[in-house]
Amino acid sequence: MKIGIYTPYLDILGGGERYIASIASVLEKNHSVTIFASKANFKMQFLKTFGIDLTNTLFLSDDIFKKRGLINKYLSLSGFDIFFYMTDGSLFPSSAKKNFLIIQSPVHIPSKNFINNLKIANWQIICYSNFMSDVIKKRINKDSLILPPFISQRTNTKISAKGQKENIILSVGRFFLYPHNKKQEILIDVFRDNYKDKFKGYKLVLAGGLTEKSGEDYLSDLKNKAKGLPVEFIINATFAKINDLYSRSKIYWHAAGFGEDLELHPERAEHFGITTVEAASYGAVPVVFAGGGQKEIIQNSISGYLWNTKEELASHTFDLINTPDKWKVLSENAQKRAKDFSEGKFYEQIQKIIS
């Protein structure tokens, strides 16, 4: 089949763009896949940033979405059997035979009005998690197909290339403020309050992309907050570097959604939590905020910990540091849990969706 894919956010190279690349990577094996993009070098960037090889995917200009009218856009898509669109909240009619609307966060849910009701009739919605599916249902009364992201399965994940895990607490997430920042300032606060006694001998590593102007001041504030602490920042790391960090880290932290009213602002939660799965696949035990999609990944006290307060984050981390046998069991369980998000399972799910 001839399959087209488009997202207006390709320049960001975040989780949504990785998701788009993942879809292309599994479908290009048996189908003709085209990604509409503003630059031809995205193929190389996907490989460098996400480790996703799109050798057989064609990249075409996205001018039909940015510069042409609705009629031209509609006619341009008529040659596709299937079209995936990761919406920014906007909708347009598509003449492809089957159309899938990917909604990655609550802020991207199209407004509920008469015109949009007409436009969305030709689209089947896809989202990452039950959390997002519930929000979509409440907002626009539409059902969704749930297709969680996948990670490439690891081998020899229990130890790093150096031969052993190190005393590292890791958090991976972009440095930005809107719509749901990763709350790295909370992690620094908890680390500061505990590193001399409960976390003695450990360092905190904050890794992530800096791709938006709004994140520069935020990152500067974080660095000032972390002065004098064993906290390391790694900005715009390659896929290989991030994997090296996962392999060397014992514990994985995540705080998106903490301190927020998630009923009123569900967009401030983590919509899924792919970095949590990645960390788990390397045996870094996740200790993550109990909100959004994270609750669907971590089995509390089995494959990691879910926390609601700063005190719980510190307590669970202290428990892992001071009880090596417990860390070992949870580390192994985390790796087992990560296998539920394999490329093979993703391929099976998406094949069912498109057929």
The pLDDT value recorded for residue 287 is 98
Q: Are strands 251-254 and 231-235 parallel, antiparallel or unpaired?
A: unpaired
Banded model confidence at residue 236, pLDDT cuts 50, 70, 90: very high
Question: Which residues touch 222 (CB under 8 Å, ≥6 apart)?
Answer: 175, 184, 185, 188, 206, 233
Q: What is the pLDDT of residues 187-217, one digit of tens each?
A: 999 999 999 999 999 999 999 999 778 789 9
* Bridge partner list, 307: 289
Q: Are strands 285-289 and 203-208 parallel, antiparallel or unpaired?
A: unpaired
Tell me phi and psi for residue 59, to 5 degrees.
-110, 125
What are the chain's domains? 2-147 (3.40.50.2000), 168-340 (3.40.50.2000)
CA dihedral (39, 45, 50, 53) positive or negative: positive
Between CA 339 and CA 116 the distance in angstroms is 38
User: What is the pLDDT of the chain when averaged over all its residues?
Assistant: 92
Between CA 92 and CA 69 the distance in angstroms is 10
Percent of the chain's residues with pLDDT above 70? 97
3-class state of residue 347 by DSSP = helix
Banded model confidence at residue 38, pLDDT cuts 50, 70, 90: confident
3-class state of residue 310 by DSSP = helix
Between CA 211 and CA 217 the distance in angstroms is 12
φ/ψ bin of 131: left (φ > 0), alpha (ψ from -120 to 50), beta (otherwise): alpha
3-class state of residue 324 by DSSP = helix
Q: What is the pLDDT of residues 254-298, one digit of tens each?
A: 999 999 999 999 999 999 999 999 999 999 999 999 999 999 999
3-class state of residue 39 by DSSP = coil
3-class state of residue 145 by DSSP = strand
Between CA 99 and CA 133 the distance in angstroms is 18
Given a contact cutoff of 8 angstroms between Cβ atoms, the answer to whether 84 and 23 are in contact is yes
Query: Does the pLDDT of residue 348 top 90, yes or no?
Result: yes
- What's the pTM? 0.90
Between CA 169 and CA 181 the distance in angstroms is 19
